[in-house]
Amino acid sequence: MLLDDFYTGMSFDAYRYFGAHPREDGGKGFQFRVFAPGAEKVELIGDWNGWQGAPMERDTGGIWSTCAEEAQAGQLYKFRVFQKDGRVLDKADPYAFSAELRPKTASRLVGKSSFRFTDAAWVQSRSLRYDEPMNLYELHLGSWRRKSDGSWLSYRELADLLPGYLKENHFTHVEFLPIMEHPFDGSWGYQVSGYFSPTSRYGEPDDLRFLVNTLHEAGVGVLFDFVPAHFVVNDYALANFDGTQLYEYPASDVSYSEWGSCNFNFYRGEVRSFLQSSAAYWIGEFHADGLRVDAVSNVLYWQGQQARGINIGAVDFLKRMNSGLKRLFGNILLIAEDSSNFPKVTAPAEYGGLSFDYKWDMGWMHDTLDYLSLPFEQRRDKYHQLTFSMDYFYRELYLLPFSHDETVHGKKTILDKLYGTYEEKFAQCRALYTYMFTHPGKKLNFMGNELGHFREWDESRELDWELLRYPAHDSFFHFFRELATLYLTSPALYEREYDSACFRWLPTDSAEQETGGVYAYRRTAGGQTLVVVLNFSTKLLEGMKLGCADRTVLHEILNSDDVRWGGSGVTNPAPLASFPIPCHGSPSTVRLHLAPLSAAVFALSSSPAAEQGKAWTVSGGRYMTV
């Protein structure tokens, strides 16, 4: 690492210099370095010296350093910081590679890793998935599954269970909620204290490497949640680190976030280097396939409020960090959790963008769930709340999220948000997920969504796996898997999905006015055309008319009302041929049946009559040549 790069905010490898490292000069023990320019004095304390302060030397740039020959891997340590106002605080190492389990707070010495990755082929084949399916499973490591006594599974125990589950259910990637060290379980990892320390809740750093490697060997990508907006206020961590606002803003009106945590100061080069190096550390040292960057709107705007204006320094930080990570690691995925309308989030920096690869479509998520929470009779007036997503979809590269934030704090789970009776909720949820998996955009679901979870997520206990003993949940679970299979095997649902020519709304017989809940659209790519029809009303649609091209034949390939999934069995088992009656500008019409609160997916083809140049007609829903 070049110190000039560190001070000017250009470093991506500051962790190789700062923190605690086994000595490489032939000596015994560890070399320690910490950046604390505002401190009056800094001492090193640890297991090997009975926690009695050993003086550290300061250079002209505010870096304190020393060697400890007696220090050994596994031992605990801190920096004793003497502030100029007379206070003395024992601080954890900002660049520590491991830490004690909460509520203890010391850093832990880590020797050279003995783990050897075997995922070279996977890493070399990474892509940005633009024309490939991407189905993400968002997971909290401590509450997916637990041991019989209620304790956590370790990284290595998760490696025995998680890859198989993800493959069986056709998830292409897993996205871990923050695995960096944090003091409070209820923050879910979003208030970080150790930006280079895998949380000790589940094991050692090499254990996490083992988990990632195992997932890669199973063909599953791994994303880490990254939190560059804010950090914990605990006095052993970064806050007021050397007696000054070293990592946070000095101005009181922007120093604290809406969560009560400290905002990072993006105008300070050393802070930029710290965060950029943390991002690079997880990708380089743990082979993460990318990062989901949390609370991007709180980075882009002062206090996350557009009315307060754009934070120019923070925007520049995101551009430089993302561009630098791409330069270092190639096709890693950078995904923005951004609820704002800031432009060009997924455009390259050289074109004025932020260089993210994808952006969460929070608008789609809110509009969809708000619409389906409405009483049925109110949906007609909100019809275009569901069509609105396609009005802006091609402005960015969007990912459709049903994340952890939608299953907590009284918001109810995805299933329970939906209006209606127990049976109506399940029927709507099947239709909802048909809509999600056939709507353009990559997919993300929080763990438990696939079970039809009724209880809100609680980080202190595992998912309610016993739900699968009940027919409604078991049927939904298998339907969710069937949808994922359809998504992964249908080029029309992922190839060229960010090309507006590949999506088209289809006309129906005034369903908007009559029911307020019927939608139809076509997806075309990869030599395949699929037609999707949704009925979010309580009306049984018998012989519903759908506008189409001449001599079209529809073959139903999935219906959410199939009895296999717990439905009533209103399906379209025979091929449906069009007949030459115009429908809202389309030259021909197909008639189909659709149960209340259901969805159907059809493969589109031309009739044999069209191919043979013969006349044709329809009888009993089947095509016939005449």
The confidence score (pLDDT) of residue 468 equals 97
Residue 620 has pLDDT above 50, yes or no: no
The residue from 337, 367, 396, 561 that is catalytic is: 337
Say what the pLDDT of residue 514 is. 54
Q: What is the pLDDT of residue 18?
A: 97
Residue 610: pLDDT band (50, 70, 90) is very low
138: annotated active-site residue: no
Written out in words, the top-level CATH class of the domain with range 134-493 is alpha beta
- Give CATH for domain 3-108: 2.60.40.10
**Segment among 1-5, 350-354, 357-361 with least mean pLDDT:** 1-5
Percentage of the residues of the chain whose pLDDT score is greater than 70 = 96
pLDDT at 512 over 70: no
pLDDT of residue 612: 36
Return the percentage of the chain with pLDDT > 90, whole number: 90
Structure confidence at residue 252 (pLDDT) = 87
Determine which helix (DSSP H) or strand (DSSP E) holds 297, and give its type and residue range: helix 296-300
Please say if the pLDDT value at position 479 is more than 80: yes
pLDDT value at 25 more than 90: no
Q: How confident is the model at residue 363 (pLDDT cuts 50, 70, 90)?
A: very high
| pLDDT at residue number 618 | 36
* Mean pLDDT in residue range 485-503: 97
pLDDT surpasses 50 at 615: no
- Residue pLDDT, tens place only, 427-436: 999 999 999 9
Q: Which of 289, 294, 406, 509 is catalytic?
A: 294
What would the pLDDT profile of 152-163 be if each residue is shown by its tens digit? Answer: 999 999 999 999
Q: How far is CA 347 from each of CA 262, 322, 341, 352, 398, rounded to the nearest angstrom?
A: 29, 11, 14, 7, 12
Q: How far apart are CA 552 and CA 131, in angstroms?
A: 27
Structure tokens at 468: 């699968």
Tens digit of pLDDT for each residue in 574-607?
A: 999 989 888 888 898 999 999 999 999 999 987 5
Task: Give me the pLDDT at residue 510, please.
Answer: 56
Both structure tokens of 8? 């000017």
CA 514 to chain centre: 38
Find the range with the poorest average confidence among 184-198, 361-375, 536-550: 536-550
**Beta strands 54-55 and 57-58: pairing type?**
unpaired
Conformational region of residue 26, where left means phi above 0, alpha means psi within -120 to 50, and beta covers everything else: left
Read off the pTM.
0.94
d(CA 181, CA 195): 7
What are the start and end residues of each CATH 3.20.20.80 domain in the chain? 134-493
Is 294 tagged catalytic?
yes
pLDDT per residue as tens digits for the range 313-344: 999 999 999 999 999 999 999 999 999 999 99
Token reading at 615: 């006349």
Reported as a single tens digit per residue, the pLDDT across 109-125 is 999 999 999 999 999 99
Per-residue pLDDT of 520-545, as tens digits, reads 999 999 999 999 999 999 999 999 99
Please write the tens of the pLDDT for every residue from 396-442: 999 999 999 999 989 999 999 999 999 999 999 999 999 999 999 99
Q: Does residue 623 have a pLDDT over 70? A: no
Q: What is the CATH number of domain 500-625?
A: 2.60.40.1180
pLDDT band (50, 70, 90) for residue 499 = very high
b/e per residue, 65-99, with b = 16+ CB within 10 A?
A: bbbbeebbeebbbbbbbbbeeeeebbbbbbbbbbb
pLDDT digits (tens, 9 = 90+) for 218-253: 999 999 999 999 999 999 999 999 999 999 999 888
Question: Nearest 5°: phi and psi at 68?
Answer: -130, 105
